[in-house]
Structure 1
Amino acid sequence: MAKKVVASLQKKEGKNFAKVIRAVRSEKTDAYTFREEIVTLDQVQDTLKKN
């Protein structure tokens, strides 16, 4: 599925988007999970700053 998302981001209309992957620690198990978000380029810094 990730390949499909990345391939769609390479189209002309998809160049204004970025895929942000963050590691989030679980409170129950102390294990890390990864959250993926697709945001516009001007929202990337705001997305990375939020907890």
Structure 2
Amino acid sequence: MAKKVVATLKKEGGVTYAKVIKAVKSEKTGAYTFREEMVPTTMVQDTLKK
């Protein structure tokens, strides 16, 4: 099923997306968790600066 979703995101003439994975440190335990987001390629730098 995931392959079908990826295939629909790569249609010609559509908006291209990038998967951004950020490591976020928990204040309670100090452990790292990973947050994943699908963002348009034009907004990748803005997403990483947050």
What's the TM-score bracket when you normalise by the shorter of the two chains? Answer: 0.7 to 0.9
RMSD: 2.5
> Structure 1-normalised TM-score?
0.74
> Structure 2-normalised TM-score?
0.76
Gaps (5+ residues) in structure 2?
none
Q: Matched residues, percent identical?
A: 64
Aligned residues: 47
Gaps (5+ residues) in structure 1?
none
Q: Which has the larger radius of gyration?
A: 2
Q: In the alignment, which residue of structure 2 is the partner of 1:37?
A: 37
Identify the structure with the greater helix proportion.
Answer: 1
Q: Which runs of 4+ in 1 moved over 4 A?
A: none
